[in-house]
Structure 1
Amino acid sequence: MGRKILTAILATAILLPFLFFGMLSVGQAWFYPSVLPQRFTLANWQELLAGQSELQVSLLLSVILGLGVAILSTVAGFVISREIARAKYKNRWLLLAYWPFVLSPVVLAILVQRFFLLTGMSGEVIGVLLGQLILAFPFAVIFFQSFWSHEVLQLEQQSQTLGATAVYTLQKVLLPLARPLLLICFFQTFLISWFEYGLTQFIGVGKVKTLPILVFKYVNEANSSHAALASLLIMLPPALLLWTNKKFIFRGI
């Protein structure tokens, strides 16, 4: 009985933000002390689905940036973490990976802004992508350090000693072992990009409008229905990835 009550409370806590933002996205004329909006309309959702609305463009841009950051940081993090694990001064190199997390994203953006200005990437999508990689790539390097244990490195060495090529060892030995971690790192780095605001706002100088940028814009404009719809779009992918992690990845582990 107690377990069912606890499950119900947790389910309510998880679903309540979705229900609230969902109602807010279709409600109009919602004034205190009314419990519910006076009118309901699907105009905001129709605007999202039909034509190139601002929300639609931002959604597509956020997805592209998230996938780009996730793929690049996961692949590069896997490769570089292997080199660090085999390096003589492993801890010194690994310490550098923690440096971006010492500072807040806004302070970090101020430090690297001159580079983006000189290269002409300030206010461009490619500049925002590289800026987000400053956070996602070190995360991937740190994340994969637990995979490159002494046993895995020995297994790689034994495979090559028995005559396997580096490509064969990667495809048949390392990637199957690392598959669950690769997927988790992909999801985590996607979410880093998906929720990132400070670096995106500073390097994008307001021109690269991802969903988090739009949420703050709508809130400042007191446009509650559009802010709720943008917030729902931000919340849905993490919920989907959480379900995917639980159903497929952790079951495989």
Structure 2
Amino acid sequence: MKVSLFQRATVACLYLFLLAPILLTMAMSFSNDPVIAFPPEEWGANAYVAIFGNEQFIATFGVSFVIAVSVVLLCAVTGLPAGYAIAFSRFPGRDVVLAVLTAPLLLPTIVVGLGILLLFVKLKLIATYLGLVVGHSIIALPYMVRIVVTAYKNLPVALSEAAATLGASPTQVALRVQLPLIRPAVLASSAIVFLVSFDEVVISLFLVGPRLTTLPVEVFRYVDLRADPQVAALSVILVTLSVLIVLILERTVGLARALR
């Protein structure tokens, strides 16, 4: 099918519209002005130098990274068995379980955050690593469950039946046949869970405290007090890290194949 010049121009305009905020942010990150402005009056990389000297940004980056990795592990431990059970088991209320696990995708994040806050106050999990990990897992788990369930349902039944015919137990079939086959989906969902947790700000606002905060919350508070090019430079760094994760996933397993 031949693509017309009008269609190409339309797609190009659409890409430009979607990428415009990122391109403007990149331009403003190379400003030496005291406040964010476009176009900058003085170009330079002072903002990037200042970021690596900002102890609060560096400390909260470490906190967010540790929490995101912990959320990936927790979602993998809970999401893989849940996805397997939903995909292969025929128990009463299976659709209800799937709906409950994926409900945070449909509810407003602020509503979920308020509910988590009311519960965690009683459990004394506010401003703790455990509270942040569990809170982030609540909104990140649906992504892993959805992708894993789809991957399990698309597995060739003949392979599992052949392994069972050769004497493999159900556990061996699940761990040595089915799990390796859905490895791309596990990697893709883990990357998505990591990014969702690392970038989460609404849930974190309900759960952080004066002694424990995450990078998105720190940026939110920073922008509330000042608006200098450091914020733009940090945004460019975070976008670059996200793109690198996606590129690594694409190069290793193929992003489209993993999501299928």
The TM-score by the shorter chain falls in which range? 0.7 to 0.9
User: Paired residue for 2:173?
Assistant: 169
**TM, length-normalised to structure 1:** 0.81
CA contact (8 A) 2:188 2:255 kept: no
CA contact (8 A) 2:135 2:203 kept: yes
User: Paired residue for 1:27?
Assistant: 31
Q: State the 1:37 CA deviation.
A: 2.7
CA contact (8 A) 1:124 1:207 kept: no
Instruction: Please report the RMSD computed on the Cα atoms of aligned residues, expressed in angstroms.
Output: 3.2
User: Paired residue for 2:221?
Assistant: 217
1:137-176 matches, within 5 Å, as 137-149=141-153, 152=156, 155-166=159-170, 168-176=172-180
CA contact (8 A) 2:208 2:214 kept: no
Gaps of 5+ in 2: none
Which of 181, 184, 192 aligns to 2:185? It is 181
Structure 1 CA distance for aligned equivalents of residues 234 and 36 of structure 2: 23
Gaps of 5+ in 1: none
3-state SS in 2 of match to 1:103: coil
Structure 1 CA distance for aligned equivalents of residues 38 and 146 of structure 2: 50
CA contact (8 A) 2:51 2:234 kept: no
User: Paired residue for 1:65?
Assistant: 67
Instruction: Label 1:15 to 1:37 Cα distance change in 2 as closer, same or farther (>3 A).
Output: farther
Structure 1 CA distance for aligned equivalents of residues 253 and 69 of structure 2: 19
Which of 240, 245, 251 aligns to 2:249? It is 245
CA contact (8 A) 1:140 1:189 kept: yes
Give the share of equivalent positions with the same residue, in percent. Answer: 20
Residue 61 of structure 2 aligns with an amino acid whose one-letter code is L
**TM, length-normalised to structure 2:** 0.79
Structure 1 CA distance for aligned equivalents of residues 36 and 198 of structure 2: 33
- Deviations, residues 196-243 of structure 1 (Å, cap 9, x unaligned): 111111112465432221222222112322221231232122211222
1:128-143 matches, within 5 Å, as 128-143=132-147
- Would you say how many aligned residue pairs link Structure 1 and Structure 2? 251
Which of 26, 47, 52 aligns to 1:49? It is 52
Structure 1 CA distance for aligned equivalents of residues 83 and 12 of structure 2: 42
CA contact (8 A) 1:30 1:38 kept: no
User: Paired residue for 1:190?
Assistant: 194
Structure 2 CA distance for aligned equivalents of residues 70 and 108 of structure 1: 20
3-state SS in 1 of match to 2:182: helix
Residue 131 of structure 2 aligns with an amino acid whose one-letter code is G
Residue 52 of structure 2 aligns with an amino acid whose one-letter code is L
Q: State the 1:116 CA deviation.
A: 1.4
3-state SS in 2 of match to 1:227: helix
User: Paired residue for 2:111?
Assistant: 107
- Deviations, residues 94-126 of structure 1 (Å, cap 9, x unaligned): 122232223212211211223312222101122
Instruction: Label 1:134 to 1:154 Cα distance change in 2 as closer, same or farther (>3 A).
Output: farther
CA contact (8 A) 2:127 2:209 kept: yes
CA contact (8 A) 2:246 2:255 kept: no
CA contact (8 A) 1:113 1:203 kept: yes
User: Paired residue for 2:76?
Assistant: 74
Q: Mean Cα displacement is larger for which, 180-189 or 66-75?
A: 66-75
User: Paired residue for 1:83?
Assistant: 85
3-state SS in 2 of match to 1:38: coil
Which of 226, 239, 254 aligns to 1:235? It is 239
Instruction: Label 1:17 to 1:99 Cα distance change in 2 as closer, same or farther (>3 A).
Output: closer
Residue 245 of structure 2 aligns with an amino acid whose one-letter code is L
Structure 1 CA distance for aligned equivalents of residues 61 and 140 of structure 2: 20
Structure 2 CA distance for aligned equivalents of residues 203 and 32 of structure 1: 30
Residue 151 of structure 2 aligns with an amino acid whose one-letter code is F
CA contact (8 A) 1:31 1:37 kept: no
Residue 66 of structure 1 aligns with an amino acid whose one-letter code is A
Residue 80 of structure 1 aligns with an amino acid whose one-letter code is A
